[in-house]
Amino acid sequence: MRLVAAAGPVFAKHGFDRATVREICREAGVNIAAVGYHFGDKFGLYREVIRMIRRRCQAAHVVELPPDLSPRDRLHLHVKMMLTQMLSGDDRGWESQLMMREMNQPTAVFVEMVEESFRPTFENLKRVLAELCPAGTSEDLLEKLALSVVGQCLYYRVGAGVVRQLIPESRRASSFDVASLARHISGVIIAAAENALALEHSKTIEDALDITR
Amino acid sequence: MRLVAAAGPVFAKHGFDRATVREICREAGVNIAAVGYHFGDKFGLYREVIRMIRRRCQAAHVVELPPDLSPRDRLHLHVKMMLTQMLSGDDRGWESQLMMREMNQPTAVFVEMVEESFRPTFENLKRVLAELCPAGTSEDLLEKLALSVVGQCLYYRVGAGVVRQLIPESRRASSFDVASLARHISGVIIAAAENALALEHSKTIEDALDITR
DNA sequence: GAATGTTTAAAACATGCGTTTAAAACCCCT
DNA sequence: AGGGGTTTTAAACGCATGTTTTAAACATTC
What DSSP character marks residue B65?
Answer: P
DSSP string covering chain A, please?
A: -HHHHHHHHHHHHHHHHH--HHHHHHHHT--THHHHHHHSSHHHHHHHHHHHHHHHHHHHHT-PPPTTS-HHHHHHHHHHHHHHHHH--HHHHHHHHHHHHHHHS--TTHHHHIIIIIHHHHHHHHHHHHHHSPTT--HHHHHHHHHHHHHHHHHHHHTHHHHHHHS-HHHHHHHSSHHHHHHHHHHHHHHHHHTHHHHHT---SGGGS----
How high is the pLDDT of residue A85? 83
Which chain A residues are Cβ-neighbours of B106 within 8 angstroms?
161
Query: Does A148 sit within 8 Å of B150, measured CB to CB?
Result: no
pTM to 2 decimal places? 0.83
Which parts of chain A register pLDDT below 50? 204-213
The closest nt to B19, taking CA to C1', is C17
How high is the pLDDT of residue A197? 77
Neighbours of B134 (CB within 10 A): 11
How high is the pLDDT of residue A110? 84
What DSSP character marks residue B64?
Answer: P
- Using the structure, give the distance in angstroms from the CA atom of A37 to the C1' atom of C1, rounded to a whole number: 30
How high is the pLDDT of residue A208? 45
Nearest by CB to residue A143, choosing from B152, B167, B209, is B167
Q: For residue range A121-174, what is the model confidence (pLDDT) as tens digits?
A: 899 999 999 999 998 899 999 999 999 999 999 999 889 899 999 999 999 999
How high is the pLDDT of residue B36? 93
- Listed by number, the residues of chain A in 186-205 with a beta carbon closer than 8 Å to a beta carbon of chain B are 186-189, 191-192, 194-195, 198-199, 202, 204-205
- Using the structure, give the distance in angstroms from the CA atom of A28 to the C1' atom of D19, rounded to a whole number: 19
Q: For residue range B30-69, what is the model confidence (pLDDT) as tens digits?
A: 999 999 999 999 999 999 998 888 887 666 666 666 667 8
- Using the structure, give the distance in angstroms from the CA atom of B18 to the C1' atom of D17, rounded to a whole number: 13
Which parts of chain B register pLDDT below 70? 57-67, 89-92, 201-213
Query: Does B100 sit within 8 Å of A212, measured CB to CB?
Result: no
- Element at B116 (helix H, strand E): none
The answer, for A78 touching chain B at a CB cutoff of 8 Å, is: no
Least Cα distance to A121 among A93, A91, A149 occurs for A149
How high is the pLDDT of residue B210? 46
How high is the pLDDT of residue B208? 45
How high is the pLDDT of residue A64? 61
